Structure 1
Amino acid sequence: MACRIGELVLGCREPEVLARFWCEVLDFVVLGREDDGSIEIGPREGFGGPQPTLFLSARDEPEPGKSRLHIDVNATDRDQDAELERLLAIGARPADIGQKSDSSWHVLMDPEGNEFCLLRARIPQL
Structure 2
Amino acid sequence: MRSPRRPCFLALPVLLLGAVLSASAAASSGKALGGWTPIKDVSDPHVQEIAQFAVSEHNKQANSALALGKVVKGETQVVSGTNYRLVLSASDGSGAPAKYEAVVWEKPWEKFRQLTSFKNLVNS
The structure with higher relative contact order (CA 8 Å, sep 6+) is: 1
Global fold match (TM > 0.5): no
Larger Rg: 2
Q: Which structure dedicates a bigger proportion of its chain to strand? A: 2
Measured against the shorter chain, the TM-score band is: under 0.3
Q: Which structure dedicates a bigger proportion of its chain to helix? A: 2
TM-score, structure 2 length as denominator? 0.23
